[in-house]
Amino acid sequence: MTFLDQSVKEIFPWRVIFFENTLSVIGEDIRTKQLITIEIDQIDDIEVRGSDYRSLFSRLEVEDFINAMRAVAGSDERLVLKINCGEDISMPSDVIFLGNPYTTTNQYGDIIWAASVETSTYLFEWLYSIKDKISILDPSSIKNDFENFCDERKAA
């Protein structure tokens, strides 16, 4: 991988996600054996090589890394949705990382779904696509921001 500053790294890619509202690659630096975050807009060129490289990290360790990075950045929020009884929803794109997802039901048959998310336009686009099937229970900050997002879409 060549960067805009002409530096080069060999990376074992794990995920492409939104981190701090920027599309980023989460990968393992093959030389240092560390997990790193790279903003996509800093990449100049990518050369794909067939390799028998074995990562030192598991999928769960990578997810823990993403959760820890969000905690340090203060961008992690626990989104809680009520999915109306009998409704099916499509899950968001893989670029929206859903940390520690949890699902249960209430006494009325509604599904209560929760996951740690980072607020982004893509998150709001997903919520907008399922808005008639859900209610945002928590946090109020995401609920208010989403209502503003919906108002802006109606005005456009």
The answer on 54 and 104 residing in a single domain is no
Given 15, 38, 73, which residue is the final one in a domain? 73
Given 39, 73, 107, which residue is the final one in a domain? 73
Q: Give pLDDT tens digits for 41-53.
A: 999 998 888 778 8
Q: Give pLDDT tens digits for 110-128.
A: 899 999 999 988 899 999 9
Please report, as a single letter, which amino acid is at residue 9.
Answer: K
For residue 38, give the nearest of 49, 48, 25 by alpha carbon. 25
The answer on 82 and 69 residing in a single domain is no
Stretch 136-149: mean pLDDT: 96
- Strand ranges (DSSP E) for the chain? 2-3, 11-19, 22-29, 34-39, 43-45, 77-83, 99-105, 111-117, 134-138
Q: How much is the pLDDT for 8?
A: 92
Residue 136: pLDDT band with limits 50, 70, 90: very high
Domain limits for position 99: 77-155
Given 73, 96, 130, which residue is the final one in a domain? 73
Higher-pLDDT residue of 91 and 130 is 130
The answer on 82 and 63 residing in a single domain is no
**Which residues does residue 77 pair with via DSSP β-bridges, in sequence order?**
117
The tally of domains found in the chain comes to 2
56 backbone φψ class: left, alpha, beta (φ>0; ψ -120 to 50): alpha
The answer on 129 and 82 residing in a single domain is yes
